[in-house]
Amino acid sequence: MILVCTLGQSWQVIPEAYALLAPAKCPLYRNQPHLLQFSWSLFEPALPEPSELWVITTAGTTHGTEDILTWWDALGRPVPLRWYRTTAIDGQAQNEVELIRELILRVVLAAGPDAVLCLSGGRKTMSADMQRAGTVFGCRALLHLLAPDGGKDIVGRLKSEKCITPLPTDLPIQAVIVGEGRRNDLLDIEPAIIPHDYPVSEGDFAPTTPTKEWLWQALAQRERDGGQLLANFHADIAREETHENWRSLYRLPPVTIARLRQRIISDQDRDWLKALPKAELHCHIGGILNLDEQIAVGKAVWETVPDNARPQARRDAQLWLSKPKEPGDKRVEFHQDKQRRLCMSACLLAETEHQILQNELWPPHDRRVALKSHLWGFSAYEHPGSLVGSAILQSKVATATYARLIKQRCKRDGLAYLEVRCSPNKYYQGFLHDFHQALIADDHAPDPIIRLIIIADRRRDDDIPAVVRMALNAFQTYPKFVVGLDMAGDEQRGDPQKLAQYFTAAFEACLRITIHAGEGESADKIWKSAYHLHADRIGHGLTLVENQELAKRFRDRRICLELCPTSNREVVGYHDPDNPGSAAIYPLRKLMDMGVPLTLCTDNPGISQTTLAEEYITASRMISEGLSTKGLSKWEALALIKQGFLHAFLPAAEREALIKQIDQKIFNLIASE
């Protein structure tokens, strides 16, 4: 911290100010403890000792200069002492006033916003200029010192004792904090006002630059043009961005906005991303749990398995563990009896060593890139979730444990809103009721908000009409819980045009619709899903980038894409410097530039061993191509997070209220950094 003082005829102001902030080095106030406590009683954290002392003076104060140098030598010159002096003699003429003002402004600009400024030295005009400099450029504190009788007694004491001994208690001095300064936002709008453009050096100051380049005039002009400058700044941002950010963020200082726009997301931002309240729109219940959470569910279920069923479960588990892993073996084949599969899964999770399960579910020799082309096909992607989902959710105990762990995951990962999707027809009857009750049990906090999307499977097209009817009934029974209908599975199955009659019923009932499409298949598949099945959102939609006209239609109709970077890399295969194996560039940047509504999701965070915060880091890494294409900036990440809330399957009034609430939380987080 730099202490900046002005020097007039009362040179003792300099030791008074320095002693207040550095009592260990200048014991002037040792007998006046109220002053020694002063500097930290009003500030948190306390004002630190100055690392340098800067003195601004005029050519007419040579006597005071000599006195200060004598005092400084007596102290042993504890920190650098720098002098800045104008050629003005007494500062009474207008040109001298302007010269002194220019010097003060430049020195304070150079000292930076952490400086402490003393207003007590020199003429009143110097004090006024110092105060203005602090409020314009920012400062830690504006300090004023008041001494009795103009400080004459102190002058004598300083001369006789050279500050070696403290002042007596009968020489009271009062210190007053006038305030602190915050740098004016207008100064950071390009071209920003920075020290480099208004240099100042020690010694005599007599700038020869034209009057129009003087700093005090530049500040006056900047203030006159302030409103237009801010308007132009925000207009420039609006022209460049394709996705509007949170409204409150545009109130941030321009320098903060610029920093958010320039900072590219990386591993160092993991905690920052985690702290932001986020919305997760594409997350499957069968792949949401990590291994520790899977084990917790398995142990809860295993405790309920009857003793007479355990021997068979152990035999099935041993057979599954010992099954040869030959090429072409899908590895996830289980006994068709749901109860027997439930017991086997519970046994495996409850009784198998953690590392053995880890190696079985995520084989260390298998590279999880482009698994659609893997020897085991898509099942190689699904395999880590093979012991949970429909395998374990045949038990009420599993459902209750699942719900508890999902809520914990939301809070741990910073999810304010989650849409989890599943196929209840694959579980036991009554699952929806039990899952809903478990989610709301003993939960008095408003966060997280968890909603359910029901999935129809293209691979079981005969079941689709019944699944849609079940979804409509569930929507009527749990209108604030069941919010959407999805269709997933192999895109080559289930012609959207033929299935339209079933989805039209959901559309007419105002049940929101999201469709898995464009995950490796052509953009034509995406449009058929959006058009025939009335999709509000598309899961993945990666190949939309191949059809610009269709992308424009998605933008116009506000149809949102749910991108899942890690899952997309694992299933389809995209370039990732940390996971090499594919040359294709992830289309996030191109889709953003097209203005397509989109947000980032996890798909199956347990299977992909990721979190929503991690997906933003992964996406930034996957779209970066060195100098040619930059990664995802913090500003862009915040805009994509907003898209998640904008396209949540909530009633409009509820969604708008949530967005306003999250907007304020995000502003508070960013503004406090």
SS3 86: strand
Region for residue 520 given its phi and psi (left: phi exceeds 0; alpha: psi -120 to 50; beta: otherwise)? left
Q: Which two tokens stand for residue 1?
A: 């911290």
What is the number of other CB atoms lying within 10 angstroms of the CB of residue 331?
19
Contact status, residue 511 vs residue 484, Cβ threshold 8 Å: yes
Specify the DSSP element, H or E, that contains 177: strand 174-181
- Cα dist from 252 to 244, 486, 573, 650, 668, whole Å: 15, 39, 39, 29, 10
2-6 and 512-517 strand pairing: unpaired
Contact status, residue 59 vs residue 10, Cβ threshold 8 Å: no
Residue tagged 């058009």 (tokens): 531
641 has which bridge partners? none
- Which one, of 2, 110, 112, lies nearest residue 47 by Cα? 2
- Which one, of 117, 108, 116, lies nearest residue 137 by Cα? 108
The CA dihedral of 372, 374, 378, 380, to the nearest 10 degrees, is: -140
What is the number of other CB atoms lying within 10 angstroms of the CB of residue 110?
21
Rounded Cα distance, 550 and 105, in Å: 57
- Which one, of 238, 93, 204, 261, lies nearest residue 595 by Cα? 238
DSSP state at residue 502:
H
User: Most distant CA pair in the chain: distance in Å?
Assistant: 105
Rounded Cα distance, 143 and 121, in Å: 11
Rounded to a whole number of angstroms, the CA Rg of the chain reads 34
Rounded Cα distance, 398 and 438, in Å: 11
- Which one, of 643, 613, 616, lies nearest residue 632 by Cα? 616
Q: Which two tokens stand for residue 245?
A: 């950010």
Specify the DSSP element, H or E, that contains 154: helix 152-161
* Residue type for position 276: L
C-alpha 662: how far from chain center? 13
Rounded Cα distance, 660 and 465, in Å: 38
- What angle (nearest 5°) sits at the alpha carbon of residue 83, between those of residues 80 and 89? 165
Catalytic residues: 519
HEC string for 370-428: CHHHCCCCCHHHHHHHCCCHHHCCCCHHHHHHHHHHHHHHHHHHCEEEEEEEECHHHCC
Specify the DSSP element, H or E, that contains 282: strand 278-284
